[in-house]
Structure 1
Amino acid sequence: MAIFNDRKAKQQLDREAGKVREQDVNELLEKQQAIEEKVRNSGKLMRFSSDIRLMFSMLRDYWQGNYRAVPWKSIAAIAGALVYVLNPLDVIPDLILGFGFIDDAGVVALCLTMVESDLLRYAAWKEHKEESWTSQP
C-alpha cells in the first residue's frame, strides 16, 4: 500500500484550494522565498522548481491584474498546493527523513496535472509580452 497516493493528494489539494481567498494570494506571494528554499533543499520537490517559479509568476501577475485569463479554480489550486508545500506538519511531516516530502511532491504533481493548460497559456502570454517589451524601440 502506498504511503501517499493520488486520492490522498487530491483530497489534500481540494482541502487547501477550498480555503483560498483572493487576499490569500498576496500573503502567499510574500512567502515565495521560503517555499523556493524548501523546494531547493528537498530532493523530492527539486524537480518541480521551475514549475513552482512559473506558478508564482502567474500568481503575481494575477494578483497585480496583469493576467486574468485564468479561472479562479486554477489560481486556488496553485495557491492551495503551495500552501501545502509550506506547511511542515502536513499528512507526512517534513521532518521524517526520506518520506517527509512525498506528500508535498504528490500534491504539486497533481496540481500541475490539473492546471497544466492554464500554465502553458500563461507561459506563452508571458513570453509574448517579454518579446514585445524587448522589441520596442
Structure 2
Amino acid sequence: MKKPAGFEASRRKAANLAGDLKKTTEIINRAIIKSEKQQGKIDKVRDEMDLLIKMVGAWARGEYRRVPLKTIITGLAALLYFVNPIDMIPDFLLGLGFLDDVTVIAFVFNSIRKDIGEFSQWCVDQKRQSGEIKEGNDYGLQ
C-alpha cells in the first residue's frame, strides 16, 4: 500500500513528540474523544484505531516497551493525522472528511501489523495473568 499524501508531515511531527509524555498523552486523549464522537464514520477501522491508541498509550506509560520506536512514531503519526481537522480532506466535508483518516489508519495498521499482533497478544497475556481471562480462553468468556 502506498504511503498516503500528507502522512509524512504527521510522521515528522510524531518523531518530535514521541519523547514527550505530556504531549503524547494529549494526542491519545484527543484521538479517543474524536473516535467516540465519530461513531459510524470510522467503523471500518474502529478496531485498528483502538489498538493503535492502546499500544501508543501503553508505550507512553512505560507498560509496554517491546516495540520499536519507529512503530510508536508511525502509530502516533496516525493519531496525529486523525485528530487534525484540516488534513488532506478536511473533516467538515460531509461524506469525504474521514476518508483520508480511514486510509491513513489502514495504511499504518498494515505497516506495523507484526508489532500490533505482538502487542495484542501481550494484552491477552496481561488479562490472563490478572485473571480476567481463564487459561485457554482468549475471548474473556467464562
Matched, 1:99 2:96: yes
3-state SS of paired residue (1:48): helix
Tell me the distance in 2 between the aligned counterparts of 1:53 and 1:110.
15
The answer as to whether partners of 2:10 and 2:80 remain within 8 angstroms in 1 is yes
Q: Which residue of 1 aligns with 2:9?
A: 15
CA RMSD of aligned residues (A): 1.8
Question: Where has structure 1 moved over 6 Å in runs of 4 or more?
Answer: none
Whose RCO is larger (CA < 8 A, sep 6+)? Answer: 1
Whole-Å separation in 1 of the counterparts to 2:108 and 2:58: 19
The count of residues paired between Structure 1 and Structure 2 equals: 127
Could you tell me which runs of 5 or more consecutive residues in structure 2 were left unpaired when the two chains were aligned.
135-142
Give, in angstroms, the shift of residue 38 of structure 1: 4.1
What residue identity is the alignment partner of 2:104? Answer: V
Structure 2 residue 61 is matched with structure 1 residue 60: no
Contact 2:27 2:83 in 1 (8 A): no
| Other-structure match for 1:30 | 29
Asked whether the 8 Å contact 1:35–1:82 carries over to 2, the reply is: no
- Asked if 1:6 corresponds to 2:2, the answer is yes
Structure 1 gap ranges (5+): none
Report the CA distance shift for 1:99/1:30 in structure 2 as closer, same or farther (over 3 A): closer
Please report the TM-score for the alignment, with normalisation by the length of structure 1.
0.83
- Please say if residues 14 and 77 of structure 1, whose CA atoms lie closer than 8 Å, have aligned partners that are also in contact: no
State the Cα deviation string for residues 79-123 of structure 1 (Å, max 9, x = none): 111111111111111111222111111111110111111100000
Percent of paired sites with the same residue: 25
Deviates more, 1:19-28 or 1:99-108: 19-28
| Kept after mapping to 2: 8 A contact 1:13/1:111 | no
Deviation at 1:41, TM superposition (A): 4.3
8 Å CA contact 2:6–2:87 kept in 1: the answer is no
TM-score normalised according to structure 2 size: 0.80
How far the C-alpha of 1:60 sits from its partner, in A, is 1.4
In terms of fraction of residues, the more helix-rich structure is 1
Q: What is the CA distance between 1:13 and its match in structure 2? A: 2.2
Q: CA deviation at 1:78?
A: 0.9
